[in-house]
Amino acid sequence: MATLETHDPRFVDAILDWRWTALLARLALVGAYLLGGIVKLTDWPAAVAEQAHFGMQPAAMWAALTIAIELIGPILILSGRLVWLGAGMLGVFTLLAAVTANAFWAMPAGQERFMATNAFFEHLGLIGGFVLAALVAEHANRRRRA
């Protein structure tokens, strides 16, 4: 009976062991949020208008909360400190944003519904990424404490 090889190819090991891989992966996960927070912070009227567009009132309060989450969450994840908190913040934010902005179940059939459905499930994938980031960080913390 043939057995499957149980270890990664060398090039995969090299990539996973490279000292910058974890940071770059975390940056890829949170980069859009970090950029979004910076853009909103530098264009406050547009940030408020975006919240009003989605029916969030008072729009200025929701814009400020969105900016805080989009900046603090990524900083926590990138710093490796309180990753669970940053991942939780962004995960809950992403779920609420997906339900608010991509309510495909309330749309008639057609291209707009198709696009909203895809965006909704892409957001669920991001939430899974945040859970995995928190799990990886917790696993690393437990190994350090042991």
Three-state secondary structure call for residue 53:
helix
Q: Would you state the pLDDT for residue 3? A: 55
Residue 85 tokens, joined: 């908190």
Residue 11: pLDDT over 70: yes
- Single-letter amino acid code for the residue at 122: E
pTM assigned to the model = 0.88
Q: Would you state the pLDDT for residue 41? A: 98
**Alpha-carbon distance 25 to 16, whole Å?**
10
Q: What is the pLDDT of residues 123-144, one digit of tens each?
A: 999 999 999 999 999 999 999 9
Three-state secondary structure call for residue 87:
helix
Q: Would you state the pLDDT for residue 7? A: 76
**Alpha-carbon distance 19 to 57, whole Å?**
44
- How far is residue 81 from each of residues 12, 61, 87, 129, measured CA to CA in Å? 27, 27, 11, 17
- How far is residue 58 from each of residues 5, 52, 75, measured CA to CA in Å? 57, 8, 26
**Alpha-carbon distance 58 to 105, whole Å?**
26
Residue 40 tokens, joined: 């909103």
